């Protein structure tokens, strides 16, 4: 019976697709050498340990798909022709959708460099990078490196404008609260922040008007539409999405339970929260449990983002020697607000941990593949 399953598997998922020669440090994928015994990941009817000669993940996915015929996941992850959507088909459609959204955001940014357009472009680029990094084993390494480098360079070009926007918004908020005397040099600091933002916008507009910017955008579009970008695979997207979400959630759970409060640790936590949120928004069903989890993830991401922005401003003001009275007042106000943010972060973390504890953490979820089919 096992030889028959192996033969069928060899026909469905050839060895050249989805082969993992060694353990991956970030995805924690076990080594799959011929003759090695590998325990299948995840929760199924029973943990099966088998000798694998071709592709351990394809064999696991095929076994899961075969044993889940009565599960609603298999029925809900079908396209209009009745066939189950594979990872390669889903990624090809979704990468195309995200790239079109990114093209629209970059076109709006080229017309007008506003905080809204800068934020929209950066957010869309980060979404694409999260999915490329999460499903990177589904892409050809050479084409993936070109695509990621193009995204990384464009994201870096927008960092200066974004930092200037955030700094100006924080100073303007403190000025509107009238918590700092104007005669202490607050107006001068507001003018410095406004001038820094104007210089960053002018520099970005100059880059956008150059041919190098157009070549980068065109290279980005060509990389997204490269037919060699995605490796053909017969692995069901439902199984892959379930494994990815489970792994991301467990990593984040470990970080939340560590209770580290350093700015660097909180920033890394925010990045993991953002990645899990993007995956849940696209690869999880729209039910009450997922909506509650997404709500806490958004609140956590907002608080952690505000914490990081204020911490970066405090560090910059610590190096400033002009208008010391206003600088000291702003830093003291931000330091007092820091405790409020930490309390809010801890509260939302406990809510999120409670949500995960109240329901089954390892539940297999259906990706919303019908939306892209």
Question: Concatenated DSSP letters for 134-148?
Answer: HTGGGB-HHHHHHHH
- Answer yes or no: are the C-beta atoms of 137 and 24 closer than 8 Å: yes
d(Cα 301, Cα 269) in Å, to the nearest integer? 9
Q: What is the reported pLDDT for 175?
A: 78
Residues 147 and 261 in one domain: no
- Torsion 146-147-152-155 (CA) sign: positive
State the alpha helices, DSSP H only, in the chain: 2-12, 56-67, 72-76, 87-111, 115-134, 141-157, 159-176, 186-208, 211-224, 237-258, 263-283, 288-318, 324-358
pLDDT in tens, 312-334: 998 888 887 777 788 888 888 88
* CATH number for position 105: 1.40.20.10
81 in any annotated domain: no
Per-residue buried b or exposed e for 48-69, using 16+ beta carbons within 10 Å of the residue's own CB? eebebbbbbbbbbbbbbbeebe
Higher-confidence residue: 163 or 179? Answer: 163
d(Cα 319, Cα 350) in Å, to the nearest integer? 36
79 in any annotated domain: no
pTM: 0.73
Residues 98 and 226 in one domain: yes
- Answer yes or no: are the C-beta atoms of 42 and 246 closer than 8 Å: yes
Instruction: Give the distance, in angstroms, between the CA of residue 107 and the centroid of all CA atoms in the same chain.
Output: 23
Q: What is the reported pLDDT for 322?
A: 78
Residues 52 and 169 in one domain: no
pLDDT in tens, 263-296: 999 999 999 999 999 999 988 888 888 899 999 9
Q: Give the end of a domain, one of 177, 205, 235.
A: 235
Report, as an integer, the average pLDDT of 230-241.
89
Residues 254 and 138 in one domain: no
User: Is the pLDDT at 22 greater than 50, yes or no?
Assistant: no
78 in any annotated domain: no
DSSP class of 42: S
Q: What is the reported pLDDT for 77?
A: 47
Q: What is the reported pLDDT for 186?
A: 78
131 in any annotated domain: yes
Q: What is the reported pLDDT for 9?
A: 44
The phi-psi region of residue 363 (left if phi > 0; otherwise alpha if psi is between -120 and 50; otherwise beta) is beta
- Nearest of 207, 195, 203, 202 to residue 106 by alpha carbon: 207
Which residue segment(s) compose the domain that 277 sits in? 238-373
Instruction: Give the distance, in angstroms, between the CA of residue 116 and the centroid of all CA atoms in the same chain.
Output: 20
| Among the ranges given (10-14, 120-124, 199-203, 244-248), the one the predictor scored with the smallest mean pLDDT | 10-14
pLDDT confidence band for 156 (50 / 70 / 90):
very high
Per-residue buried b or exposed e for 269-287, using 16+ beta carbons within 10 Å of the residue's own CB? bbebbbbbbbbbebbbeee
How many structural domains are present in the chain? 3
73 in any annotated domain: no
Report, as an integer, the average pLDDT of 97-111.
94
Residues 208 and 326 in one domain: no
Residues 193 and 250 in one domain: no
- Answer yes or no: are the C-beta atoms of 2 and 18 closer than 8 Å: no
Q: What is the reported pLDDT for 361?
A: 47
Q: What is the reported pLDDT for 59?
A: 37
């Amino acid at each position: 019976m096992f030889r028959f399953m192996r033969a069928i598997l060899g026909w469905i998922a050839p060895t050249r697709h989805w082969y993992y020669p060694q353990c991956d440090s970030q995805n924690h994928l076990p080594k799959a050498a011929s003759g090695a015994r590998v325990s299948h990941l995840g929760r199924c009817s029973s943990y099966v340990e088998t000798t694998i000669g071709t592709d351990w993940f394809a064999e696991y996915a095929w076994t899961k798909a075969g044993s889940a015929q009565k599960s609603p996941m298999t029925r809900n992850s079908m396209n209009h022709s009745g066939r189950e959507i594979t990872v390669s088909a889903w990624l090809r459609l979704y990468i195309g959708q995200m790239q079109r959204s990114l093209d629209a955001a970059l076109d709006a940014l080229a017309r007008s460099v506003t905080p809204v357009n800068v934020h929209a472009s950066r957010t869309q680029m980060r979404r694409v990078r999260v999915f490329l990094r999460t499903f990177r084993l589904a892409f050809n390494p050479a084409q993936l490196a070109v695509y990621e480098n193009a995204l990384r360079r464009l994201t870096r070009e927008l960092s200066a404008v974004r930092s200037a926007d955030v700094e100006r918004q924080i100073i303007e908020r403190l000025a509107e609260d009238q918590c700092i005397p104007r005669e202490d040099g607050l107006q001068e600091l507001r003018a410095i922040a406004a001038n820094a933002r104007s210089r960053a916008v002018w520099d970005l507009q100059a880059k956008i008007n150059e041919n190098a910017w157009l070549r980068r955008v065109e290279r980005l579009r060509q990389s997204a539409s490269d037919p060699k970008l995605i490796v053909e695979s017969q692995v069901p997207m439902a199984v892959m999405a379930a494994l990815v979400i489970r792994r991301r959630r467990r990593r984040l759970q470990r970080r939340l339970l560590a209770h580290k409060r350093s700015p660097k640790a909180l920033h890394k936590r925010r990045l993991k929260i953002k990645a899990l949120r993007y995956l849940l928004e696209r690869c999880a069903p729209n039910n009450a449990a997922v909506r509650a989890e997404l709500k806490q993830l958004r609140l956590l991401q907002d608080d952690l983002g505000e914490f990081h922005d204020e911490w970066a401003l405090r560090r910059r003001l610590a190096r400033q020697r002009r208008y010391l009275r206003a600088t000291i007042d702003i830093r003291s106000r931000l330091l007092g607000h820091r405790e409020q943010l930490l309390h809010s972060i801890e509260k939302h973390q406990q809510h999120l941990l409670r949500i995960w504890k109240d329901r089954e953490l390892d539940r297999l979820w259906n990706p919303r593949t019908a939306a892209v089919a």
